[in-house]
A and B are shown apart, each in its own frame.
Chain A
Amino acid sequence: MTELLIGTRKGAWVMRGDERRADWRLEGPLLLGQIVNHFVADPRDAKVRLIAAKTGHLGPTIFRSLDAGATWTEARRPPAFPRSDDPNARAVSHTFWLEPGHASEPGVWWAGASPPGLFVSEDNGATWESVAGFNENPMYDEWVPADAGTPDGPLLNQIVIDPRDPAHMYIATSTAGVFESLDRAASWAPLNQGVEVTFLPDPYPEFGQDAHFIALAPTMPDRIWQQNHCGVYRLDRPQRRWERIGKAMPAEVGDIGFTIVPHPRDADTAWVFPMDGTDVWPRVSPGGRPAVYRTRDAGASWSRQDRGFPTDQGWFTVKRQAFCADLGEPLGLYLGATNGEVWASADEGESWRGVARHLPEIYSLAVAPGA
């Protein structure tokens, strides 16, 4: 069985597919009306699931399940910045990203928030601590300018942990790009060489980029894929200069998007879902013709995969957390769209089928472990 965890602007749902990934059943809603930015299951313990939620009125919190979603409780101490007498002191608007900790650290979770903030839990999300290495870094105000942000606020939108070393971490931000830590989040250094910025006077600053999504190649963790606000990039460590592999995308499609999915077994293969980043940035499928693009040669070339998608007048977008893969053979790919549709491919992207529709705007889509 394949299980998809769906977070939307107005609640969460679960989809279960049969062994062939052909028949799907939608269950929910859970937390109807809550803004669910991320809904994640723990690969170290499949019974543990966390949801980052808030509503338009209420403050942000984390909901937790320790029984695979049968029951839910709320974090006793959700992510929050340290108390301060400064009248402009930061407060968490919403938790945007939830990351299970390293395999060697059961119970540890990391969270990224808006305004950009990094938080850690040692007890499966029951209580959270502010991570001073980022949140109180002397460079914070440089990395997070007061006037920077996405339409929903500036973000620390992602946390990635090297599977070989729990102290080696990366984060992605919307205000300063990618950062690396070699000391388990105690200190951070920008990692943005070669990443273009089209909205600042200096097109190649040390920081200031908008890193929409980064992903390590599971079989080669020194390879980092990045879908940036300004293109698709790849970095093979220990190099520090990113290569813009999106230049090989068709010019009429471009290489703007929110997310990128690496193949779990092939370090040269990844998928993107391009969006229109021209003119006033409509952020919809270019030309109204949705498609994923796949590279099988580390970004040297890309091929279009659109069978099953609308061939005309299809104007959806796929956000950062809403494109994922299972571990099946052949690989299954899943994307959740801003129009509330879930699309699935059981053949590595060759063909696509709508498996749910009429949901609220989808913010996150994740495959539960064991799928």
Chain B
Amino acid sequence: MIEVLIPSQLQSYCGGVSRVRAEGRAIGEVLDDLDRRYPGIRFRIVDEQDRIRPHMRLFVGRAAARDIRASLSDGDELLIFGALSGG
């Protein structure tokens, strides 16, 4: 299982919680699992070409992930952040 940190921008999909657990051996599989349970969440993080959206930041532990094909191991933590400045 993967522990996933959900940013405030996406917590409305997950019943308001900031942490959920999901299954998958790669980031994309975890996002697929999240989308099955919280429909619509994946497309707001990743575009139709499977690219991480410009103002979303994903980390596996402390390592930045730039491709959803990045592999995960049981017990990893996937951190999702929204990163945008502006008024």
Residues of A within 8 A of B (CB): 55-59, 61, 74-76, 78, 80-84, 89-92
Complexed CA–CA distance, A57 and B83 (Å): 7
Are the C-beta atoms of B44 and A59 separated by less than 8 Å?
yes
B60 at the interface (CB under 8 A from A): no
B16 at the interface (CB under 8 A from A): no
- Knowing A56-B86, A57-B83 touch, does A92 contact B48 (C-beta < 8 A)? yes
B71-85 at interface with A (beta carbon < 8 Å): 82-84
B48-87 at interface with A (beta carbon < 8 Å): 48-51, 53, 55-56, 82-84, 86
Query: In the complex, what residues of A have CB within 8 A of residue B43's CB?
Result: 59, 61, 78, 80
Report the minimum CB–CB distance from B67 to chain A (whole Å).
Answer: 12
- Knowing A74-B40, A78-B43, A80-B43 touch, does A58 contact B48 (C-beta < 8 A)? no
B34 at the interface (CB under 8 A from A): no
Report the minimum CB–CB distance from A338 to chain B (whole Å).
Answer: 14
- Knowing A91-B47, A91-B48, A92-B48 touch, does A59 contact B53 (C-beta < 8 A)? yes
B30 at the interface (CB under 8 A from A): no
Query: In the complex, what residues of A have CB within 8 A of residue B47's CB?
Result: 59, 80, 91-92
Are the C-beta atoms of A55 and B9 separated by less than 8 Å?
yes
Query: In the complex, what residues of A have CB within 8 A of residue B44's CB?
Result: 58-59, 61
- Knowing A59-B45, A84-B49 touch, does A76 contact B9 (C-beta < 8 A)? no
Report the minimum CB–CB distance from A74 to chain B (whole Å).
Answer: 4
- Closest chain A residue to B48 by CB distance? A80
- Closest chain A residue to B81 by CB distance? A57
- Knowing A61-B43, A75-B40, A78-B43 touch, does A56 contact B49 (C-beta < 8 A)? no
Could you list 17 examples of A-B contacts with CB < 8 Å?
A56-B84, A56-B86, A57-B9, A57-B83, A58-B9, A58-B10, A58-B44, A58-B53, A59-B43, A59-B44, A59-B47, A59-B53, A75-B40, A76-B40, A80-B48, A83-B50, A92-B48
